[in-house]
Structure 1
Amino acid sequence: MTNDSMYEILMNLPAFRGITYNKVSQIVEKAKFHFLRFSPGNIIVDEGEECTFVKFIIKGAAKISIIDKAKRFSVEQTLTAPSMISPDFLFGRITRYPGRVVAQGAEDCGIVQISKNDYMQLLAGDEILILNMLNMLSMNSQQGLWGALAISNGSLERRIASWIIALTQNDATDIVIHAGQDDFYRIFSTDKEIFDKTIESMTQCSLIDSEPFTLRIKSRRELRDMLS
């Protein structure tokens, strides 16, 4: 890989967006970037693994699978380039990945990673990098506010949208929820009649597709817009 192509890749990542070519050159001299390839089906990150590296997808796709401790439900989502993997868990009280991340698709998944310690040193020395990270974290924290308002609103559609938004990344696609029918009722504190009517309404609005024990999200953005 030439320096030009490596710099172009880094400048396209959300955490480094807006910095100049010369600044990228300085960053590469200060920090070590590791370029990795994972064949389809190979594990990139395992559930509960400590977040010691900042990881970005630069090619292909990866699927994140999150399963609750009681194994009542699972949430799958797909990330593609130039997504950062689970940025919310880099800092704070919990710094372990919430789910397994697996390379997905017909081609290898390319990852570039930098140690969290190196990344923190870069943040300390560049205002643009700090703003990029703050913007990502702020957007995700605001989703919690939307969720609280959705719950207080009482609409089951908004509660479902809030739950999906809270468990998935902003740039996620191919979101699929698996749960038993009774578990869906318990998760959303409702009964079969109300749940079925709500799912039918959301399906007719092209927000989701439903199958027995499965909800497929057609538009995360439209769900998010319901809450704003």
Structure 2
Amino acid sequence: MDSMYEILMGLPLFKGVSHEKISEIVGMAKFHFLKYLPNEIILNAGDQCTHIKFIISGKARLTIANSDDRFKVSQTLEAPNVIAPEFLFGRAPFYPCTAEAIEATGILQISKSDYIKILNTDEIFLFNFLNILSKNAQKAVDGILAITTGSLEERIAFWIISLTQRGGTDIALTCRQRDLYSLFGVQRTSFLATLESMRNRGIIEYNNNEIRINSRDSLLDILNTAAE
């Protein structure tokens, strides 16, 4: 039980829960532990989100792409973390991304019905889940403001922040440059000048087909500074 307690306490949605409460939910809910080998698919974009999935060991590569794969945003999530929790409920409970194990990776999954029971057992569980949902909702508001009135730098930051999770690393936006400056509605010279400015400040690296993010927090700083 101690090892189970340590695993659960390390997960973002179980923070602050007592040992006694963990013992209680282990007895009432089914915990499924799954192992994935390197390069094995954990889930595909469009899969129905019937379980909440936690990364408890190893790391996974998550990729979101548009319908023709011309635009992709990928990130690495390491344990302990949770995959796309905001898609567990709502009108479209389907995963927006494909998740692939980078190395031997352990997943703990709990069915939606059992997770609802857990949320109802203690306010801390509910608070942790609502806190994640609130952060994502607030992120969307900042992004909408950036799109309507912000600089190109702010719009790029919003796109990447909105399609990645907190704790995501090795973030890459893969798309041809000419498609990107068409997407953002700017001239090529303005687009390249913005990328060069961001590279000079250590925020990104880029080439003709990819923008790599050195620090997701730096993108958040861009949006937060703009909001102020």
Normalising by structure 1, report the TM-score.
0.96
Shift in Å, 1:125: 2.2
Is 1:191 aligned with 2:176? no
Question: What code does the residue aligned with 1:11 have?
Answer: M
Question: What code does the residue aligned with 1:114 have?
Answer: I
- Structure 2 residue aligned with 1:168, among 164, 168, 171? 164
How many Å separate the matches in 1 of 2:13 and 2:177? 40
Shift in Å, 1:133: 0.2
Equivalences for residues 202-213 of structure 1 within 5 A:
202-213=198-209
How many Å separate the matches in 1 of 2:147 and 2:23? 47
* Partner residue in 2 for 1:121: 117
Question: What code does the residue aligned with 2:58 have?
Answer: G
Instruction: Indicate the percent of aligned positions where both proteins have the same amino acid.
Output: 49
Question: What code does the residue aligned with 1:95 have?
Answer: P
The superposition leaves residues 160-193 of structure 1 with CA deviations (integer Å, 9 ceiling, x where unpaired) of 0011101111111110111112211122111101
Question: What code does the residue aligned with 1:25 have?
Answer: S
- Structure 1 residue aligned with 2:23, among 11, 22, 25? 25
Normalising by structure 2, report the TM-score.
0.96
Indicate the RMSD between aligned Cα atoms, in angstroms. 0.9
- Structure 1 residue aligned with 2:85, among 87, 94, 101? 87
How many Å separate the matches in 2 of 1:151 and 1:47? 26
* Partner residue in 2 for 1:96: 94
* Partner residue in 2 for 1:57: 55
The answer on whether the counterparts of 1:48 and 1:99 sit within 8 Å (CA) in structure 2 is: yes
The answer on whether the counterparts of 1:140 and 1:170 sit within 8 Å (CA) in structure 2 is: no
Shift in Å, 1:69: 1.3
Q: What is the number of equivalent residue pairs in this alignment?
A: 224
Any stretches of 5+ residues in structure 2 without a counterpart?
none
Equivalences for residues 122-137 of structure 1 within 5 A:
122-137=118-133
Shift in Å, 1:149: 1.6
Runs of 4 or more above 3 Å deviation: none
How many Å separate the matches in 1 of 2:166 and 2:2? 29
